[in-house]
Amino acid sequence: MFQQLIEMLRKDPKRIVFTEGTDPRILEAASRLLAGTFLKPILIGNPDEVQKAAEDAGYNIRGAEIVDPANNAYMDEMVELFCELRKSKGMTPEEARRTLLQGNYFGTMMVKMGKADALLGGATYSTADTVRPALQIIKTKPGHTIVSSCFILVRPSATGENEVLAMGDCAINIKPTAEELSEIAVEVAECGRIFGIDPKVAFLSYSTLGSGKGEDVEKMRRAMELTRDRAPGLPVDGELQFDAAVSPRVAQTKCKDSPVAGHANTFIFPDINAGNIGYKIAQRLGKFDAYGPILLGLNAPINDLSRGCNALEVYSMAIITAALA
Ligand SMILES: CC(C)(COP(=O)(O)OP(=O)(O)OC[C@H]1O[C@@H](n2cnc3c(N)ncnc32)[C@H](O)[C@@H]1OP(=O)(O)O)[C@@H](O)C(=O)NCCC(=O)NCCS
């Protein structure tokens, strides 16, 4: 999967901005990316501090662009554009300048201004602090009402083929409506296709096709119906319990005519609680590698790292993020 993405990037290397230029995990990933020559890392931070952090940690970052929010040629232009973008919120030039000294806002504006193709942050910023500037500055793609996210889960199977699944929204929308879930489902299925998944979408619940009752059961059923209308060719079903979604034997008993049950590979959760817990169970107990959250529905590729990430995860997410550009 990664080899294909790397070959794609090699033909057209993208510029990816890292908002935390002095973090040793970012520096290790950047040095590896520089050696690979298929991506151009841009590190945000004071150049002396970034160089010193790289030297202290023993990573060669020669060739990386280092951009300092406190000292650069385009701050005035950036302040003006930021004020324009946030004028409905009453943003003043002083407030804009202060806000743009933060790497998360500065990096997002670099993407907005076309000075970088993609952004990866969150090694030290929380998800909310990485995502909020993107929501405010980059905004949703035309035709979309929300930004959401998916995780791609990968596990080598006994046959030697990778098992690849998509799950959403495990990271952004706290309590999505049925309409939002249907938008999320189409986006997650499309993202899964990039990673070789032929999507079969299950709307997950504690109930299978009416076996249980409740507000959330209704919501998942409605979301499934809306998705059928929105994407008629996409195999979807729900509401489904997880066992009915993945086990052919259980599917045979509970919903044998379902186009999806027993073979689902794209999972839509009712809310962030279920989604976030669900993907982590797959990762920690199911031995899947989890890549994400990959943000969906944004006007430019911006992604968030987990604060517990390691350098390999930064490297992998950088490739995924740049490939989406
Ligand atoms: C994503 C998140 C940070 C946004 O929260 P927030 O900053 O408080 O959101 P606000 O309601 O103040 O909105 C800020 C801006 O983002 C926009 N926005 C918020 N959620 C959005 C969404 N899902 N899609 C698109 N735009 C959104 C708002 O419209 C607003 O835009 P504006 O300032 O131009 O009017 C919040 O939903 C969140 O914390 N989600 C959970 C994150 C998390 O903890 N994940 C678990 C770990 S992976």
Give the whole-angstrom CA distance, residue 167 versus residue 114.
Answer: 30
Peptide linkage before 293 cis (omega within 30 of 0): yes
Ligand 1 atom at shortest distance from the alpha carbon of 129 = 3
CA of 110 to the centre of ligand 1 (A): 20
Give the whole-angstrom CA distance, residue 4 versus residue 323.
Answer: 10
Q: Is 25 helix (H, G, I), strand (E, B) or coil?
A: helix
Give the whole-angstrom CA distance, residue 295 versus residue 304.
Answer: 8
Residue 324: per-residue pLDDT: 86
CA of 245 to the centre of ligand 1 (A): 30
Q: In what order do the strands lie in the sheet containing 266-268?
A: 236-240, 201-204, 266-268, 162-168, 148-156, 289-296
For 165-218, the pLDDT digits (tens) are: 999 999 999 999 999 999 999 999 999 998 889 999 999 999 999 999 999 999
CA of 137 to the centre of ligand 1 (A): 12
Question: How many helices and strands (H and E) does the chain possess?
Answer: 13, 11
Q: The tokens 């990664």 sit on which residue?
A: 2
Q: Is the CB of 136 under 6 A from ligand 1?
A: yes
pLDDT in tens, the chain (325 residues): 788 889 999 999 999 999 999 999 999 999 999 999 899 999 999 999 999 999 999 999 999 999 999 999 999 999 999 999 999 999 999 999 999 999 999 999 999 999 999 999 999 989 999 999 999 999 999 999 999 999 999 998 777 788 999 999 999 999 999 999 999 999 999 999 988 899 999 999 999 999 999 999 999 999 999 999 999 999 999 999 999 999 999 999 999 999 999 999 999 999 999 999 999 999 999 999 999 899 999 999 999 998 888 999 999 999 999 988 8
Give the whole-angstrom CA distance, residue 239 versus residue 60.
Answer: 51
Q: Is the CB of 131 under 6 A from ligand 1?
A: yes
Residue 158: per-residue pLDDT: 77
Two structure tokens written together for 164:
């690849």
CA of 321 to the centre of ligand 1 (A): 20
CA of 262 to the centre of ligand 1 (A): 34
φ/ψ of 98, rounded to 5, equals -65, -45
Q: State CA 270 to chain mean position distance.
A: 18
Residue 114: per-residue pLDDT: 96
Q: Is the CB of 181 under 6 A from ligand 1?
A: no
CA of 146 to the centre of ligand 1 (A): 9
Residue 317: per-residue pLDDT: 94
| Residue boundaries of the structural domains of the chain | 2-139+298-324, 148-289
Residue 157: per-residue pLDDT: 79
Give the whole-angstrom CA distance, residue 285 versus residue 276.
Answer: 14
Q: Is the CB of 53 under 6 A from ligand 1?
A: no
Q: Is the CB of 128 under 6 A from ligand 1?
A: yes
Residue 129: per-residue pLDDT: 92
Residue 13: per-residue pLDDT: 92
Instruction: Provide the 8-state DSSP code for 141.
Output: P
Residue 325: per-residue pLDDT: 85
Residue 197 pairs in a beta bridge with: none
Residue 160: per-residue pLDDT: 74
Give the whole-angstrom CA distance, residue 184 versus residue 149.
Answer: 8
Ligand 1 atom at shortest distance from the alpha carbon of 306 = 48
Q: Which long-range contacts (CB under 8 A, 24 or more apart) does 44-48 make?
A: 44/17, 44/18, 44/19, 44/20, 44/68, 44/69, 44/103, 44/106, 44/107, 45/20, 45/21, 45/103, 46/70, 46/71
Q: Is the CB of 91 under 6 A from ligand 1?
A: no
Q: Is the CB of 306 under 6 A from ligand 1?
A: no
Give the whole-angstrom CA distance, residue 83 versus residue 108.
Answer: 14
Residue 133: per-residue pLDDT: 96
Residue 63: per-residue pLDDT: 92
Ligand 1 mutation pick, 88, 132, 283, 309, max ligand atoms within 8 A of CB:
132
Give residue 58's region: left, alpha or beta (phi > 0; psi -120 to 50): left
CA of 222 to the centre of ligand 1 (A): 24
Residue nearest ligand 1's atom 12 by CA: 132
Q: Is the CB of 1 under 6 A from ligand 1?
A: no
Q: Is the CB of 186 under 6 A from ligand 1?
A: no
Residue nearest ligand 1's atom 33 by CA: 136
Two structure tokens written together for 61:
């970052």
Residue nearest ligand 1's atom 45 by CA: 171
CA of 135 to the centre of ligand 1 (A): 7
Measure Cα distances from 114 to 45, 70, 111 in Å: 19, 19, 5
Peptide linkage before 77 cis (omega within 30 of 0): no
Q: Crossing angle for the helix pair 24-36 and 47-57, nearest 10 degrees?
A: 90
CATH 3.40.50.10950 applies to domain 2-139+298-324: yes
Residue nearest ligand 1's atom 31 by CA: 136
CATH 3.40.50.10750 applies to domain 148-289: yes
